[in-house]
């Protein structure tokens, strides 16, 4: 008997050596995109004097991005992904689990109507799961497997009169005799592992594991202080949402730009998330069955203190760190991040003082639709009596050395929030217009009238077109007690004939397949307090009959 026990222990040790030790994967750097993807660069240190060992990657990789790199001194024989069975201690949370944890102990079992049985727990059935059908095996099919129960609803107890079988859920109370209850039980679980086999031990070497994975992202946002009439303070922060893995002293690169990642929604086969049929189906669909994980960018809310003394709400984060540019992407670095899985981190980026000016914007759309039919008259009838939208904005000049990525921007003045909108991508030395609020004290009116029509002036692609001359009139009034600079843009289809005052004309690339040229007219005018101005323009447009 003693020899058998020694032999069993030797076999266990030998099996563990064959299985190999487990080596930690250390995340060194993560590049974060704003679409829930992160590019992980991890380091693996092979154990001394072992050519075979196991690792567990930080997260599931996307298809085509899982790579293991090593020096010329290391020879990789194989890398096998498998699910290995482990024993895990689990805390009992109900009576059936408590009974399972105490096999071999003497107890009093109490049932309904206070029926009591003194016994020894002899056996507790293990849970079992119906095995997956082997659709590629010879013979049989998916219905050949028996209907397995998933829960072990059987226990055997030993009484003075013999053994008795019962359902553990029928036990209402347990009283232990002579010794304390064990509160944990052992459960067999399967865990993902990668088995690395080298030609020889690689002591002192490093392996680099890189992969693109979902489960982590960053959400930028800005706060713009326009208390100073000449200089605006703009501060940026990054909120990192981490659902992938623990980050310990990790360098994070925040990416500004839009990389093309064709297989980002397909899970790598090395992650063992899908079987063969599911993976092939994912390639056809363009995404894996787990779907896309995304969510809207949260808005910022700030509630001002009305006590009479305004708090200091403008952060001072220091100047922007120097990032790096790779083709069309910009990478903004943050060093030594500590962020556990399931946590969300707030990381200040920069505060910059930039030039700005107030501007009021009135954007007027084109009234010719894609079918080359004019729709302003119906629009005018529907919106009769409504006011045109004029927006109070600030035009910011990016004088920093880094671009501003697209993100929500909150505008404050004297500690009060006065607006929030999207600050669009702005390169270094570029300008961006940020809307604050609708300007209710800058009134705007506009009308377009047909003043001439040449019927069937042209025929294109089997359709008849009239050549219509349109006259537009704009009227603006500044009802504020301060001057206002107003920028008016009007999109038209056709050829501009006159504009008074003269507008800047820009040809647009959209609508290249349509009969009319797309133009944008821009006027920039200054309005003194109480001043009223009128503008006029005429253009010709081909309208389908």
pLDDT tens readout for residues 177-198: 988 999 999 988 888 999 999 9
Range of the domain at 443: 356-544
Distance from C-alpha of 498 to C-alpha of 539, rounded to nearest angstrom: 7
What is the count of structural domains for the chain?
Answer: 3
Both 312 and 386 in one domain: the answer is no
In a domain, 18, yes or no: no
For residues 339 and 369, membership in a common domain is answered with: no
Indicate the residue among 321, 338, 354 that finishes a domain: 354
Residue 269 DSSP SS3 = helix
CA 356 – CA 423 distance, rounded (Å) = 14
Rounded to a whole number of angstroms, the distance between the first and last alpha carbons of the chain is 102
Span 25-34, average pLDDT: 93
Report which of residues 32 and 256 the model is more confident about.
32
Q: Which residues of 41-56 are buried (b: 16+ CB within 10 A; e: fewer)?
A: bbebbbeeebbbbbbe
350 with 360, same domain?
no
The pTM score is 0.77
What's the mean pLDDT when you consider all of the chain? Answer: 84
Task: Specify the pLDDT at position 460.
Answer: 79
Q: Which residue has the higher pLDDT, 512 or 250?
A: 250
152 and 288 share one domain: no
Residue 293 confidence (pLDDT): 40
- Residue 421 and residue 277 share a domain: no
Find out whether 503 and 522 touch, Cβ atoms under 8 Å: yes
Considering the domain boundaries, does residue 271 fall inside one? Answer: yes
151 neighbors 127 (Cβ within 8 angstroms): yes
Residues 6+ apart with CB under 8 A from 328: 257, 258
């Amino acid at each position: 008997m003693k020899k058998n026990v020694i032999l069993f222990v030797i076999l266990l040790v030998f099996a563990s050596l064959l299985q190999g030790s487990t080596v930690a994967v250390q995340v060194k750097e993560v590049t974060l995109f704003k679409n829930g993807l992160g590019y992980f660069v991890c380091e693996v240190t092979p154990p001394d004097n072992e050519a075979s060992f196991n690792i567990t990657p930080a997260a599931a990789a996307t298809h085509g991005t899982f790579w293991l790199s090593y020096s010329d001194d290391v020879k990789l024989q194989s890398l096998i992904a498998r699910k290995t069975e482990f024993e895990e201690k689990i805390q009992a949370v109900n009576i059936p689990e408590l009974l399972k944890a105490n096999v071999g102990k003497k107890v009093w079992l109490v049932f309904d109507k206070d029926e009591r049985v003194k016994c020894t727990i002899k056996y507790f059935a293990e849970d079992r799961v119906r095995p997956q059908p082997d659709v590629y095996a010879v013979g049989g099919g998916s219905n050949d497997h028996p209907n397995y129960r998933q829960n072990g609803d059987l226990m055997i107890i030993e009484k003075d009169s013999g053994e008795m079988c019962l359902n553990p859920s029928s036990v209402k109370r347990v009283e232990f005799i002579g010794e304390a209850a064990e509160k944990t039980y052992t459960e067999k679980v399967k865990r993902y592992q990668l088995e690395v086999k080298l030609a020889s031990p690689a002591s002192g070497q490093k392996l680099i594991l890189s992969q693109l994975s979902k489960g982590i992202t960053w959400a930028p946002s800005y706060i713009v202080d326009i208390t100073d009439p000449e200089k605006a303070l703009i501060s940026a922060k990054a909120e990192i949402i981490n659902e992938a893995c623990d980050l310990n002293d990790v360098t994070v690169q925040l990416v500004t730009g839009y990389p093309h990642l064709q297989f980002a929604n397909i899970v790598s086969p090395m992650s063992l998330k899908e079987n063969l049929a599911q993976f092939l189906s994912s390639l056809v669909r363009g995404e894996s069955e787990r779907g896309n994980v995304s969510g809207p960018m949260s808005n910022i809310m700030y509630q001002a203190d009305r006590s009479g003394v305004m708090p200091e709400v403008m952060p001072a984060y220091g100047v922007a760190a120097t990032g790096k540019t790779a083709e069309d992407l910009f990478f903004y670095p943050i060093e030594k991040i500590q962020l556990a899985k399931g946590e969300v981190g707030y990381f200040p980026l920069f505060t910059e003082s930039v030039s700005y000016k107030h501007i009021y914007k009135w954007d007027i759309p084109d009234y010719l639709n894609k079918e080359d039919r004019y729709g302003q008259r119906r629009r005018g009838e529907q919106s009769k009596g409504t006011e045109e939208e004029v927006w109070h904005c600030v035009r910011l000049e990016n004088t920093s050395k880094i671009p501003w990525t697209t993100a929500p921007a909150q505008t404050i003045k004297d500690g009060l929030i006065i607006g929030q909108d999207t600050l669009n991508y702005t390169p270094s030395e570029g300008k961006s217009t940020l809307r604050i609020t609708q300007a209710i004290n800058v009134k705007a009116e506009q009308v377009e009238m047909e003043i001439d029509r040449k019927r069937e002036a042209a025929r294109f692609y089997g359709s008849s077109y009239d050549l219509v001359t349109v006259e537009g009139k704009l009227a603006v009034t500044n009802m504020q007690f301060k001057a206002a600079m107003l920028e008016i843009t009007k999109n038209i289809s056709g050829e501009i004939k006159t504009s008074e005052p003269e507008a800047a004309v820009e040809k647009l690339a959209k609508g290249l397949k349509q009969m009319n040229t797309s133009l944008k007219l821009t006027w920039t005018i200054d309005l003194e307090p109480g001043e009223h101005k009128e503008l006029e323009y005429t253009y010709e447009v081909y309208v389908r009959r």
